[in-house]
Amino acid sequence: MDYQNKLVLAPMVRVGTLSFRMLAAEYGADITYGEEIIDHKLVKCERRTNVAFGTTEFVEKGTDNVVFSTCEEEKNRVVFQMGTSDAVRALKAAEIVCKDVATVDINMGCPKAFSIQGGMGAALLSKPELIHDILATLKRNLDVPVTCKIRLLKSPADTVELARRIEKLGVPALAVHGRKIADRPRDPAKWDEIADVVAALSIPVIANGDVLEYDDFSRIKAATGAASVMVARGAMWNASIFSPKGKSHWEDVKKKYLRKSILWNNDVKSTKYTIKEMIAHHSCLELPEGKSINKADTLEDLARLYDLEDYFWTVKNVGPLTNDLPHVL
């Protein structure tokens, strides 16, 4: 994968499913990260082909629980991000999915208690030997590129030192979120400290943090010297942030996202969560729309709410021809 001058969709739990990744790509995202999947969960999965929806699914054995879903159309740009704290288990999990994705990425930046208490995410930042073990094991045994995404450490010097250690392991790129573990989204991202990492490395750095408008792509690149730019919240609130033509109205983006969710059979809980995040940012969840979403139990319920019943049933009836739906409709 080429990491120069790319617009990148960040990994976002419950948001970065296939339907949202395809939406972001349609608007202009070059690389799309899936939501973080924990290795413990993936090793319990088996690979299945869903002919009706044209997808490859990784389903928890003995259940209908789809843990990760992808399709041929995104194979060259999708990044599978994994949460792990063990090299052997990480390899076992990665081997299950690696033939269906472009890259495997290790999450070393999530500050949430669940990740840190499990020794994953940002907990890895203080364990350089474990980082070495995980990345070296994956790189030695996988045929796809292996990357990672980190946060800033306590001092710029510490961040640079860790980044250099990671670079020496042969990763093709490094994503850096310009916040520390204790920082929150309301705290400004430290673009200057990302610039320190860029200056110290020879591999491409993907800069992440406070990219909320299309113009921010060029601003953060100029400020940091990064090869590419990653966006999270800005894309969640309006995926058309990737479009050089300018943003579409969020209501139109929301409806297009729901169509993608129907088209790719997205989990209804993830679909509701993402739509509610859009509404909460632009409007108010206490209005009738938000209350109706809470009551929806299925994608069909959501389709009915947004006058997409005909589309829903067309998808159901077309079956294996779902990839032709843009033409059909």
Residues with catalytic function: 110
Tokens of 28: 């202009």
Strand partners, 60: 45
Q: 292 to each of 275, 289, 296, 303, 304, how far by Cα in Å?
A: 12, 5, 6, 12, 11
CA 196/CA 126 separation, integer angstroms:
19
Compute the C-alpha angle 60/61/67, nearest 5°: 10
Q: How far apart are CA 18 and CA 322, in angstroms?
A: 14
Residue 160 CA to residue 218 CA, distance in Å, equals 23
Answer whether 239's CB lies under 8 Å from 216's CB: no
Q: 52 with 320: CB under 8 angstroms?
A: yes
Give the start-end residues of each E strand in the chain.
7-9, 31-33, 37-38, 45-50, 55-60, 66-70, 78-83, 103-108, 146-152, 174-180, 205-208, 228-231
- 46-60 burial string, b = 16+ CB within 10 Å, else e? eeeebeebbbbbbbe
